[in-house]
Amino acid sequence: MPIHRNRGARDGRRPRGPRGRDPVVVVGAGLSGLACALHLLGAGRDVVVVEREDHPGGRAGRLDLDGFRIDTGPTVLTMPDLLDEALGAVGESVHERLDLVPLAPAYRAAFADGSTIDVHTDRAAMAAEVLRVAGPREAVGYLRLREWLTRLYRIEMRSFIDAQFDSPLDLVRPDLLRLAALGGFGRLAPAVGRRVRDERLRRIFSFQSLYAGVPPDRALAAYGVIAYMDTVAGVYFPRGGMRAVGDALAAAAAKAGGVLRYGESVTRLERSGDRVTAVLTDQGERLPCDQVVLTTDLPAAHRLLGHRARRPVAHRFSPSAVVLHLGTDRTWDSLAHHTISFGGAWRRTFEEIIGEGRPMSDPSLLVTRPTATDPALAPEGRHLLYVLAPAPNLAAGRIDWDAEGPRYRDRLVATLEERGLSGLGSSIRAERLVTPADWARQGLAYGTPFSLAHTFAQTGPFRPGNTVPGTANAVLAGCGTTPGVGVPTVLVSGKLAAARVLSRTGGGR
């Protein structure tokens, strides 16, 4: 049996098993790396995880500020069955490790005309809400849209998301025709618009494509699967914040015998021919490995491997985001746990961010109030707000964010006050602003936490694969590889990376 080292242990060597194998070294204790580790441990492999931060979670980061416990990465959790699958690999369950609260509504959408729509994942509740705000025809259209999204999801998950791709020929499978028949290779905005006509509903069921780095008018209709996850499958919040997810996966991995080494950065990969033989850290440690799984940002992974990605054209990266974390001494009843505050502009916002490389003049914002569900995340009588404003990445825009950031922060506060959060500015007791320049300082390419955009040329078999040409025992995981960006998909990427390792070496010790 493997020997579990305590958190922060320096000795990564482990006794070799009967087959004389060194462990699999996973670089990065983000959600993809932890999912990969759990699947490998469940298959009987020895695993060492190396993480530069002093805690797990990766981009699901954390900040403790004046008694406020802040999530600095994703705030929306969907598809908890994928967490359950990863934990189930080592005989545990999501319900044993996490206290997940289903959110009802999943979102509240607030519009420039003063109207609001609560987005429910329950079919009957959402149909009643659509009937209330838009009438019977739109309620029928919503049910048609929901059915279409569900059919998209079922096909895509089994054949195109939770699936390995080695070449474009791997697309040629029976579900390809089914996806085409559903209109999956058309455009998202028109596909949604054929089912609901109310502009507010069209926004609610298509804005998610921006997380994939593409405006709804240009995104493949197949990316309606993200709207399925948000508006049909359900949105959850873990008590303790999103940091609890990384903590839960890491604890399960440690219990299963994995070694987790925090506070160590990987500086180099030692190679012999086409094999990586060891991982070297900034602490002077040499960690021998049988296989290595790299979950770092894609350019960083290729730098460690010592080559550039082989691609006829340069990768296109997603837009970035400005995030304003606020600890306040008051709250507002108009805010749900998640509130999408839409500006009056719509198509123009995408042109400004992606085409012109400048901040939105009439911003649409995601405002998360985690203390609505878990008051313990803030001092007694205080509240947390997380304000996300999509923004150009550093390749698209030429903005001096160190100079512009404070001014943009003031614009965001003023905009939210104009939209009903009166007295927001004077209520702030703690804050932290994060701009694309800050994401870049964290090592994220072009200052975006959303990695590669999901254009057609960067989707499915055209997205960077999880194997590395010219390297026999290195595998990639995370949002830069297949299947893509988002908490559910990076969990799948970890599972697929583990499957690659096991297909090369088999399970067991």
**pLDDT tens track for 191-215:** 999 999 999 999 999 998 887 788 9
Residues 439 and 466 in one domain: no
Residues 350 and 292 in one domain: no
Looking up tokens 């999912």 gives 35
Number of domains the chain is built from: 3
25-83 residue pLDDT tens: 999 999 999 999 999 999 999 999 999 999 999 999 999 999 999 999 999 999 999 99
Residues 92 and 145 in one domain: no
Residues 322 and 308 in one domain: no
CATH number, domain with residue 42: 3.50.50.60
User: What's the CA gap between 55 and 254, in Å, rounded?
Assistant: 13
| 450 φψ region: left (φ > 0), alpha (ψ -120 to 50), beta (else) | alpha
Residues 297 and 394 in one domain: no
Residues 93 and 131 in one domain: no
Residues 440 and 332 in one domain: yes
> How far does Cα 413 stand from its chain's mean position?
26
Contacts of 422 (CB under 8 A, 6+ apart): none
Q: Measuring CA to CA, which residue among 235, 236, 229 is closest to residue 146?
A: 229
Looking up tokens 């416990």 gives 69
Q: Measuring CA to CA, which residue among 435, 402, 428 is closest to residue 414?
A: 428
pLDDT of amino acid 18:
38
Residue 260 maps to a domain:
yes
Residue 5 maps to a domain:
no
The structure tokens listed for 174 are 């029976």
Indicate the residue among 183, 215, 233 that finishes a domain.
Answer: 233
Residue 4 maps to a domain:
no
Q: Which domain holds residue 214?
A: 124-233
| Residues of the chain below pLDDT 70 | 1-20, 170, 308-313, 506-509
The structure tokens listed for 363 are 């911003």
pLDDT of amino acid 171:
75
pLDDT of amino acid 240:
97
Whether the bond into 105 is cis, omega within 30 of 0: yes
Please compute Rg for the chain using Cα positions: 22
Residues 299 and 368 in one domain: no
pLDDT of amino acid 162:
86
User: What's the CA gap between 246 and 250, in Å, rounded?
Assistant: 6
Residues 136 and 211 in one domain: yes
User: What's the CA gap between 464 and 166, in Å, rounded?
Assistant: 10
Residue 337 maps to a domain:
yes
Residues 331 and 442 in one domain: yes
286: helix, strand or coil: strand
Residues 344 and 424 in one domain: yes
pTM for this structure?
Answer: 0.93
| DSSP label of 30 | B
68 φ, ψ (degrees, to nearest 5): -90, 130
pLDDT of amino acid 186:
94
Contact 31, 51 (CB under 8 A): no
The structure tokens listed for 201 are 């509903």
pLDDT of amino acid 310:
58
